[in-house]
Amino acid sequence: MSAFEKLTAHSKKISNFSHLASICGWDQAAVMPSGGNQARSEAMAELSVHIHSLNTQPQLGEWFEQAEGEELSTQDKATLRELKRQWQQANVLPEELVQAKSLAGSKCEHAWRTQRGENDWKGFEKNWQEVVKLSQEEAQIRAEATGKTPYDAMLDLYEPDTSTESLDALFLNVKSWLPELINQALDKQASEQFIKPEGVFPPEKQKALGLEVMKLLQFDFDHGRLDESVHPFCGGVPSDVRITTRYDESEFVQSLMGIVHETGHARYEQGLPKSLAGLPSGTARSMGIHESQSLFFEMQVGRSSAFIEHLARMAGKHFDGHNPALFSQDNFYKLYTRVEKGFIRVDADELTYPAHVILRYEIERDLINGKIKHTDVPELWNEKMQAYLGLSTKDNFKNGCMQDIHWTDGAFGYFPSYTLGAMYAAQFMAAMKTTVDVESAIRSGDLSPIFSWLSENIWSKGSLLTTDALVTEATGETLNAQHFKAHLESRYLG
């Protein structure tokens, strides 16, 4: 057996344990009774330590050295590159830190589920302090190993080859035109008349509607399912993708589009190259590319007039006891393209959403780089929320800095992926339209031409290409934020 074959066999062993960790994490978030949290946290911490141990076994260094001298195909070279990247990222962390961070994250995240609803910053802060401390330790270790800043070292876990310098420039550009665009859209919509959902929309009917929309989006139910959780997410593994949403009986708008969003994540996972299953080259390229797929589904397709026509018809069928005028295509389009300055990121419209992301990016960047303390976050959040969206979150922690799940387990460096994803999605759509009649495909109810393009250009590539190479091969250029700006101007000012 060659050194490369030894490495791939070892990677598949690690992947099997990661599979179990993913399903356990989904269960913990979606259906596990609260009393099981302590035991589950300990079990998952033990599993994370075991995975870390497999990733850092001493013979791997020798295998990598040997494999780099072997004759490999282009695909195998890409696999070796990703295997080594994964190994280097794992190898720098001591086992004790991996275990401590897993335990602290589980404790903080589980308590957050209750503390957020109670607006309990003091209680949350006590748990979060440890998560931040351990995350800063991790960032410093990674920084020393890579020569990057602490935040850039964490960012590299989610967005390989992306830097604070590039993000600062990108987001500075967005901040130069976004506020005015938001205000113009608000002025344009000020006189619009539309009907809001009123009454009761039972969760079971919302779920039935969501399942029908997932079928339209060609979700593979033999390899995935829909459930409910406090915070919508996509988890599991490509062969068993778990997506969740949350339901509000007073309206269905958010949960329905949340399902469309998570289905985009899931279709990407289900479309990854099966021949590379268990290998890092067969996984999603980056979180930004992953988010581009969910936002392609939700924003580029899901909020198009053609897709809204399907949503309106389906919703009218499932909620037949309500005002029929609510389910007209025109009214639905107004509902799903409504711009409003709000507190909650996951409920934000596509135009104000980047402001939420930039706010979080700027705070976590300075927190991980040690420029601010974790106790500074509520005040900074309030200042930036007022500056970017004109809203105050003073003493409103549940709708401010406690609203997201990401920081509870130390996922620092993740938030930029959301807006990078929106930019990639706009660029993919612009490129797709040069060869695919997107609107006709959506109106017909057979979205196969769209999914074929995504499969050929994005899904089937896994991580065989670098992010820049993937985007360039698909669109003819690296990331160009002008496509995103043009998309927003067309939809909200056109």
| 70 included as an active-site residue | no
pLDDT single digits (tens) 220-260: 999 999 999 887 899 999 999 999 999 999 999 989 999 99
| pTM of this structure | 0.92
At 146, the amino acid letter reads: T
323: left (phi over 0), alpha (psi -120 to 50) or beta: beta
Considering the candidates 130, 138, 262, 298, report the single residue annotated as catalytic. 262
> Nearest 5°: CA angle at 439, between 434 and 444?
130
Q: Give the mean pLDDT per block of 10 residues along the chain (494 residues).
A: 98 97 92 92 91 94 97 98 94 90 93 96 98 98 96 96 94 95 97 95 97 98 94 91 94 94 97 97 97 97 97 96 95 96 93 98 98 98 97 98 95 96 98 98 98 98 97 97 97 94
Per-residue model confidence (pLDDT) at position 90 = 87
The DSSP bridge pattern shows strands 234-237 and 240-245 to be antiparallel
445: left (phi over 0), alpha (psi -120 to 50) or beta: left
pLDDT single digits (tens) 179-227: 999 999 999 999 999 999 999 999 999 999 999 999 999 999 999 999 9
Order of strands, sheet of 234-237, starting from the edge strand that comes earlier in the sequence: 224-228, 240-245, 234-237
